Amino acid sequence: MATVKRALAAAGVHDRRRPCDTPPNVVIVVLDCVREDTFFGGSRAAPGQLGLEDLRSESWVFPRAVSSAPWTVPSHASLFTGLPAWKHGLHYRCQTRLPPQLSTLGETLQSLGYATASFASNPLVGPITGLDRGFDEVRWGGWHEVYLRGVRGRPSVSTDFGSDSLPARVAGSLLFAPIANALQRRPGAVNALVRLMSTRFSAENGARVAGWVEPEFHAWLERIPTERPVFGFVNLLDAHEPYIGMGRHAPGVRDVPGGRVLPRQDRRDWLTGSWRPRSEEWDSIRGVYRETFPTLRERILEIVEILRSSGRWPNTIFVVTSDHGQAFGEQGMLFHGLKNIESLVRIPLWVRAPAHLGPSPPLDGWTSIASVRSIIESLVARSLFDPPSKLCEQIATEPTLPMAVADGIGEPIRLRMSRSRLDELDRPALTGYLGSTKVTLDVGSGRCVSVDVDEDPDEVNPHVVSGSGTDANLLQLLRAAAAEAFNPAGQRDLDVDDRLASWGYT
């Protein structure tokens, strides 16, 4: 509530309730690992996404949206707190749980009387990282579910002896991890699993990961009185590796008796350098990834239909976005994490706002996943207070400087990596965008490169930043932000904020 009141005060809007209006419902759907260019409307959109046209036409579509990190935890922390990763500090090189002093979108909406619930396929979006703050009810999945596409299963809940407990995590490492690694290294071993899934589970749940999400979301909505606004968060893991049970039309995938031979999807051996994928292997994995998008389309539309059937859709703010993308050979990268390349940090961002909350703001500039909180709070404030504010237009059109943090390798696998491989991949970096310029600072070496992402979207010809001008100004800011991003104490560096303010940024 304090965040809303501060925003209202800044806009000169007084705290006067509009008694005739019902606050809008808020639903955020995060499509884990979905690239901007592969989602519906993107330059390389995957097939099988027809049916999203109406939702896209109703939404504010941000063409230059950037995640705050190339992996799940820091980007979701930015989504919930409204802060870039270098400020909230929830990443490998700083803190392991969301700092208690930071407020979240869920807490703001709770204070306004919203019922709140989280349904996350990804177990990292839950109690283990503190990303369950602000939710009355929390459901989360396990890593085994990406290996069991089509199996509905059941989620962990806050009262369970769940996946956030130390014994469960140790058991998972000792028992599940070796099996998972073997499946990724030898995808032919999944044939029996694929056969089992196709005969027993697929007819009911298709190739969904954590098929419990929609039924749990539906059941929760039915328990909440229709006059009470809701905030529902959904994370869908279908585009996350490994792609077990996929591959009907993907290149390089062969049908064999009893199942399909899938491409190798071995992140561990890629990290150690013992497996260097050939170009045809990159293409094959990318092809299987693209086959997850029809399932994502079905799930998005099913969530919309649940909202329609409950009567809540006309007054719902509906956000579709991603936490990061996936890489399939771009700059030698596999899957996600480690680098702020475009395939990993450029994400889709659609905001469907009820028509009575006003027209779309200008959408041409850069925005960040961290801006979602401000946009939602401004729309909620507009519905609650009189006179209607113009907060959303102000927030969306103010100049912003999206920045992404790559925090290197934080996994035990680093103990098996050679020094040369660590030097190649374990390199913390910060990236900033301004106009068409993208500048990336390698924090360890101090080397900084720049690229024009409009002219060179694949970042083939970056140049070293030196001298003066826009690139040099961005470099100064990135250096200041790096000192804060990788400070374990998490103390604010006021110089960063002062620099942003002096350049006209917020």
In a domain, 240, yes or no: yes
Which two tokens mark 89? 């500090």
Q: At 152, is the pLDDT very low, low, confident or very high (cuts 50, 70, 90)?
A: confident
Residue 363 is predicted with a pLDDT of 81
Q: pTM of this prediction?
A: 0.88
Sign of CA dihedral 257, 262, 267, 271: positive
Spell out the alpha helix ranges (H) of 112-176.
166-171
- Specify the pLDDT at position 492: 43
| Together in a domain, 313 and 446 | no
Q: Identify whether residues 381 and 434 lie together within a single domain.
A: no
User: What was the pLDDT predicted at 207?
Assistant: 81
Mean pLDDT of 385-389: 52
- 222 within a domain of the structure (yes/no): yes
Residue at 413 is within a domain: no
CA-CA distance, 206 to 183, in Å (whole number)? 21
Label residue 386 by pLDDT band (50, 70, 90). low
Domain boundary among 398, 417, 440: 398
Kindly state whether residues 213 and 302 are assigned to the same domain. yes
Report d(CA 323, CA 339) in Å as an integer. Answer: 14
pLDDT tens sequence across 153-206: 889 886 544 444 545 544 555 555 666 666 666 655 554 555 455 444 444 456
- Is residue 310 domain-shared with residue 456, that is, in the same domain? no
Residue 474 Ramachandran class (φ > 0 left, ψ -120 to 50 alpha, else beta): alpha
33 plus 123 within the same structural domain? yes
Question: Mean pLDDT throughout 73-84?
Answer: 96
Q: Determine the pLDDT at residue 304.
A: 98
Residues 444 and 383 in one domain: no
Of residues 317 and 396, more confidently modeled: 317
- Sorted by sequence, the CB contacts under 8 Å of residue 299 that are 6+ apart come out as 208, 213, 214, 236, 238
Tally of domains within the chain:
2
Question: How does pLDDT run across 397-451, given as a tens digit for each residue?
Answer: 444 578 999 999 987 888 889 999 999 999 999 999 988 999 999 998 989 999 9
Segment 313-342 mean pLDDT: 96
Are 313 and 452 part of one and the same domain?
A: no
Q: How, if at all, do strands 429-434 and 403-406 pair?
A: antiparallel
Whole-number pLDDT of residue 106: 97
What CA–CA distance (Å, rounded) separates 4 from 46?
38
In terms of Cα–Cα distance, which of 140, 136, 130, 131 is closest to 114?
A: 136
289 is a domain residue: yes
Mean pLDDT of 204-228: 90
Residues 288 and 361 occupy one common structural domain: yes
Q: Strand 65-66 vs strand 60-61: parallel, antiparallel, or unpaired?
A: unpaired
Q: Is residue 419 part of a domain?
A: no
Q: Are residues 44 and 131 in the same domain?
A: yes
Which one of 263-267, 325-329, 410-414 scores highest in mean pLDDT? 325-329
Q: Give the pLDDT band (50/70/90) at residue 6.
A: low
* pLDDT tens digit sequence for 445-498: 989 999 999 999 899 999 998 766 767 788 888 888 888 888 654 444 445 555
Burial class for 275, CB neighbours closer than 10 Å (0-12, 13-18, 19+): middle
Nearest C-alpha neighbor of 70 from the set 397, 409, 405: 405
Give mean pLDDT, residues 333-350.
96
Give the helix/strand (H/E) hosting 180. helix 177-185
405 lies in some domain: no
Is a pLDDT exceeding 90 seen at residue 299? yes
pLDDT tens per residue across span 358-374: 777 778 889 999 999 99
Q: State the CB neighbour count (10 A cutoff) for residue 167.
A: 8
Is 498 among the domain residues?
A: yes
Give the residue, 4 or 140, on which the prediction is more confident: 140
**Co-location of 112 and 209 in the same domain:** yes
Phi, psi torsion values for 239, nearest 5 degrees: -85, 5
The predicted structure's pLDDT at residue 11: 42
238 in the same domain as 377:
yes
What is the domain extent for residue 110? 2-398
Domain containing 355 — which CATH number?
A: 3.40.720.10
Q: Are residues 135 and 222 in the same domain?
A: yes
Decide if 415 is inside a domain.
no
Q: Please give the share of the chain, as a percent, with pLDDT higher than 90.
A: 57
